[in-house]
Amino acid sequence: MQEKIAHLQEHGFVVFDFQDTSVIDYVRMSLEERLAQLIGKKIPLEEYHLSINDDERHSELQIELTKFYREQKFARKIFHSQVNFFQKIVGLDLLSQANPYLRMTRPGKPQDNIGYHRDTFYGGSPYELSVLVPFVDVEKESSLSVMPGSHCLPEKLFPTEQIQNPDTTVTKGSSKHQLGFLYAPKLMDPAIEKKMEPIALKRGQALMFFLSTVHGSVVNQGQITRWSSDMRILNALAGVDLSARPDYYELLSLSPVTACARKYYAQNQEEIYATL
Ligand SMILES: O=C(O)CCC(=O)C(=O)O
Ligand SMILES: [Fe+2]
């Protein structure tokens, strides 16, 4: 455990194993079954791109499967299965993203990716972490990359150019925006490519990184569709201003003292501490 924490602190990311992979296996199986209902045949998630080439059909399926993933509260189940691990790193009082993303990234399709970025470009804070959980084995060619050691670097080292997404279906509040695509992406200098490190992951593992760590993918150069969820986690007492995104997080866990303090406030009909 200490090793994992030291790695995260030094490099801004860490790969870890789920002790109990049954939830991940269950989510994978459920996604495969839902996909089969939608397309009328059962296929392994890895081979999705062999059946779905058309971008419009792909977006429709991603919208439906994301809806399913969120309704079933799969991300919460995944976080709960190892909550003690996250508590050791982030703290006992935890918020988790209410509507996490489900990514389906086909080989050779740059339009399925959001490129390299720091989520601090888009209002994320360095207190927040992304936990990327794959539902397939992901080799380096198909994986997300990170820039090791970038998490504490100043923003001025990473100038960006803001553009309109060439995909005109991605507008503010559109379905694709809600899937995690950016309507006004901020492009980083392509020269950072040489500092990016692809992170291979097996199913049952996850990649955790700070929102201030440079990360992302430009194109899946492998042979399989990458299916993953990136789910954010934040210490509820970190003091991050969430007023612009009041529904972004939900409560995952409370420390014994915070739980009692909340009860006290409820008894006294006072406002519950703002961030909870
Ligand atoms: O999985 C991806 O393609 C992007 C993930 C990401 O940008 C994040 O977790 O913040
Ligand atoms: Fe991101």
Domain harbouring 149, CATH code: 2.60.120.620
Q: Looking at the domain assignment, is residue 221 inside a domain?
A: yes
Rounded mean pLDDT, 179-200: 94
Per DSSP bridges, beta strands 13-17 and 205-210 are antiparallel
Which amino acid residue places its CA nearest to atom 4 of ligand 1? 216
State the Cα–Cα distance between residues 69 and 102, nearest whole angstrom: 7
Q: Looking at the domain assignment, is residue 272 inside a domain?
A: no
Look at the chain and report how many structural domains it folds into: 1
Nearest to 187 by CA among 211, 207, 159, 166: 159
How far does residue 44's CA lie from ligand 1's centre (Å)? 22
How far does residue 216's CA lie from ligand 1's centre (Å)? 6
* Residue 270's pLDDT band (cuts 50, 70, 90): low
Nearest to 43 by CA among 120, 106, 125, 116: 106
Q: Which two tokens stand for residue 27?
A: 């989510």
How far does residue 93's CA lie from ligand 2's centre (Å)? 23
Q: Looking at the domain assignment, is residue 274 inside a domain?
A: no
How far does residue 39's CA lie from ligand 2's centre (Å)? 29
Q: Looking at the domain assignment, is residue 233 inside a domain?
A: yes
Look-up of token digits 């200098």 = 189
Mutate to test the pocket of ligand 1, among 97, 114, 138, 201 (most ligand atoms within 8 A of CB): 114
Mutate to test the pocket of ligand 1, among 14, 97, 101, 199 (most ligand atoms within 8 A of CB): 101
Nearest to 16 by CA among 90, 82, 100: 82
Rounded mean pLDDT, 28-34: 98
Q: Looking at the domain assignment, is residue 276 inside a domain?
A: no
State the Cα–Cα distance between residues 102 and 230, nearest whole angstrom: 7
State the Cα–Cα distance between residues 82 and 39, nearest whole angstrom: 33
- For residues 199 and 145, the answer to whether their CB atoms sit within 8 Å is yes
CA atoms within a 13 Å half-sphere pointing along the CA-CB vector of 170: 21
Q: Looking at the domain assignment, is residue 275 inside a domain?
A: no
Q: Looking at the domain assignment, is residue 15 inside a domain?
A: yes
Considering every ligand atom shown, identify the ligand nearest to the alpha carbon of residue 217 and give its number.
1
Longest C-alpha distance within the chain, in Å? 60
Q: Does pLDDT of 223 surpass 80?
A: yes
Sequence-separated (6 or more) residues with CB below 8 Å from residue 207: 13, 14, 15, 131, 132, 144, 146, 199, 201
Per DSSP bridges, beta strands 186-188 and 249-253 are unpaired
| Helices 22-39, 55-71: inter-axial angle, 10-degree rounding | 130
Q: Looking at the domain assignment, is residue 273 inside a domain?
A: no
DSSP 3-state assignment of 242? coil
What residue numbers bound the domain in which 52 lies?
Answer: 2-267
* Residue 266's pLDDT band (cuts 50, 70, 90): confident
* Residue 247's pLDDT band (cuts 50, 70, 90): very high
Nearest to 89 by CA among 193, 213, 208: 208
pLDDT digits (tens, 9 = 90+) for 130-182: 999 999 999 999 999 999 999 999 999 999 999 998 888 999 989 999 899 99
Q: Which residues form ligand 1's pocket by a CB distance below 6 Å? A: 103, 105, 113-114, 119, 130, 132, 144, 215-217, 228, 230
Q: Please state the pTM of the whole predicted model.
A: 0.94
Per-residue model confidence (pLDDT) at position 152: 97
How far does residue 51's CA lie from ligand 1's centre (Å)? 24
State the Cα–Cα distance between residues 194 and 227, nearest whole angstrom: 25
Per-residue model confidence (pLDDT) at position 267: 85
Q: Tell me the one-letter amino acid at 259.
A: A
